[in-house]
Amino acid sequence: MRYARTTRAKTTNDGPATANRGDPVKRPSFQFYPGDWLTDPDLQACSIEAQGLWINMMCYMHEGEPYGYLRRHGKVIQNTTLARWVRLTTDKVDALLTELEENHVFSRDDEGCMYSRRMVKDENIREIRAAA
């Protein structure tokens, strides 16, 4: 896994804060609510394996473009790629994703890209507050 390098952000009048090279600033962490995790009935209906896949997916979604989506460089991440990233067989990942999806843990957009509703909502709130 690649970690974001710490750089001092500079604010411009015509866009978001950027790193010194002009790239958008990558946040090194994301909000995680242990109480929500432990009490979410949809998530708790899933096996511990499926929950483990979900937290890994959330980490990849933190790096996603747009934020909260399982997408890289404009492309939807396919199950085969996800399986490689988490070191499981594609059949196993397919089964775990079915379990997560049947329990409404994640959503999909019109292109079939998986995303975290909570991460997307939190990012929208963050952007609104940053603009104020």
Summarised one tens digit per residue, pLDDT across range 34-91 is 999 999 999 999 999 999 999 999 999 999 999 999 999 999 999 999 999 999 999 9
Report pLDDT for 30: 86
Gyration radius from the chain CA atoms: 16
Between residues 106 and 2, which one has the greater pLDDT?
Answer: 106
110: confidence class by pLDDT, cuts 50, 70, 90: very high
Say if residue 11's pLDDT is above 60: no
Give the C-alpha separation, 106 to 116, whole Å: 5
pTM confidence score: 0.79
Burial class (CB in 10 A: 0-12, 13-18, 19+), 1: exposed
Between residues 55 and 10, which one has the greater pLDDT?
Answer: 55
